[in-house]
């Protein structure tokens, strides 16, 4: 299991909208869909996004760029993994999430999950 911080960026910008920590079995890849269910929303409604970048922060005990034979046996470690995401819309997007993302879909800055399923509105 890997500790991951999911960072959702504002549409068309660099500022984070939210940052949440998770323990995941694998690191999500660029282009994959993520849906986050928060406790204030009825299941299955939530916030949806598409992975746009994966940032790895690593540490290594070496101080030189080209370690000697003895030093090359030392192993580095993972400090943090950030999964940067862009807001998107899925069939289960909560009504408030959908409303906040719809304008960015029209401008091409966000996307709609490509699934063969009807949209279900939370308010229904």
* pTM of the predicted model as reported, rounded to 2 decimal places: 0.82
Q: How confident is the chain (124 residues) per 10-residue block, as mean pLDDT?
A: 94 88 97 94 92 94 73 82 95 91 80 74 67
Q: Classify strands 77-89 and 111-112 as parallel, antiparallel or unpaired.
A: parallel
Domains of the chain, residue spans = 2-64+71-112
Tell me 71's DSSP state: G
Q: Which residue has the tokens 């991951």?
A: 4
Task: Determine contact, residues 47/94, Cβ cutoff 8 Å.
Answer: yes
């Amino acid at each position: 299991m890997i500790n991951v911080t999911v960072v959702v960026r504002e549409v068309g910008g660099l500022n984070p909208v939210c940052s949440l920590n998770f323990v995941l079995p694998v690191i999500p890849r660029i282009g994959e869909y993520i849906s986050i269910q928060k406790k204030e929303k009825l299941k299955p409604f939530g916030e949806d996004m598409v992975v746009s970048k994966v940032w790895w922060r690593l540490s290594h005990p070496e101080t030189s760029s080209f370690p000697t034979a003895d030093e090359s046996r030392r192993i580095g470690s993972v400090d943090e993994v950030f999964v940067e995401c862009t807001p998107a819309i899925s069939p289960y997007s909560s009504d408030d999430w959908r409303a906040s993302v719809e304008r960015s879909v029209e401008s091409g800055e966000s996307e709609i999950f490509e699934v063969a399923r009807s949209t279900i509105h939370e308010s229904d």
